[in-house]
Structure 1
Amino acid sequence: MIRVMIVDDDALVRLGLEGDEEINVVVQAFDGLQAVELATTHHVDVALVDVRMPRMDGITAIAHLRALPHPPKVIALTTFDLDEYVYNALAAGADGFLLKDTDPVEILRAVHLVATGSAMLHPAAARRLIDRYHRSGPPQAVDARARLDRLTPRERDVLTLVARGDTNADIAASLGMRESTVKAHVSRILTALDVTNRVQTALLARDAGLG
């Protein structure tokens, strides 16, 4: 059972999660401050967080949620796919983003994907978003390349596909590995690159000129 927190006042988001026997909406918050408070008293696997909220905005809330001792995976919600706040949410630790009018089937798929450690990004929109708002200067590029030097050649192969947005299953099929082996590689990559999730891994890879 995937325990979900919705951080949004839009009832349609909650409706999109109904009907899946493997998903349980355990708590709902109406702004970022309430979300952080509730996350400390409820076990949450995945949080769906609106980017624009009163009192504490979604970006700040995501950073606080990811800093918890047992942080939930986070999916940022937004109205526009080319919104600088979405990039900031990903940089704060979100594992992906969805548009608020996303088909309910895709919302369910996103929750399942991030719960297992994958990212959920709309590939074309994600590339445009990163290209528009993630402008790295020479210091960032040098640092990113130095971090990539910590990886083995096989880990670089895996990283290239992670940066492309592939799931663990996709990577396993592409590289002829078991999915459990891919998961182990991804875990080592996150540690070596000193990042917290696959989205930040992809951003760092782009900084280094990979992909």
Structure 2
Amino acid sequence: MPRRKALKVVVDVQFHAITCPGVFLAEQQDVFLNVELLGQRRRTKSVPPVFPFLFHEKLRFDKVFSHATDPIQIANALEGETLRIELVQLTYPGGDLLATYEDSGREFLFPTPRISPTYPGVDREVLLQRSYSFPGIAPKLEFSSRTIIKEVTSVSSHSSSSKKREKKNHRSSIAREESVQPNSYSTFEHPVEASTPHSTSRPSSNKKDVKC
């Protein structure tokens, strides 16, 4: 099956703390962060509800952009990716949403006009938007991020689609042939054979890394 070059983005976000001087939560249940990036959702461990919230935890996100061939295309693709961070308190099943932060993947990972930050992994800060149930001023999230873009190989989607169409046509042809053949076991119910699911192969060995 033909293979083509693609670019994989691997993002490590180190969540340090959330600060909010002078603010005290009325409820005593633990809090945590829900983070959605590159179509994946992760959450941090739970910490006591006393500011500052000290997470000191790294979350990893990754995605293969099969049609990207250079970092500029990756940056443009990240413009369409949404980052969402939620500060949640376990006051009841499902949690109470205290504050949120939302931005495009590009602005979050590359806040400067350049593709590569001047100092990768440098500590940064953003203000969360508090909900109606959050007392006091907007909390501040302290974090650092590191993004790696590496070249991988992926199976051509066009080739995969062609294979599926050929397989479907082959099965239809067999079904038509069987339908015109006389069946001497008219009272016998033939079992229906379930199609075997195909596992998606993971990308093969990496060739080249481009660090941002």
TM over 0.5: no
Would you tell me which structure has more helix in proportion to its own residues?
1
Would you tell me which structure has more strand in proportion to its own residues?
2
* TM-score normalised per structure 2: 0.21
Bigger Rg over Cα:
2
* TM-score normalised per structure 1: 0.21
Q: Relative contact order (C-alpha < 8 Å, sep 6+): which is higher?
A: 2
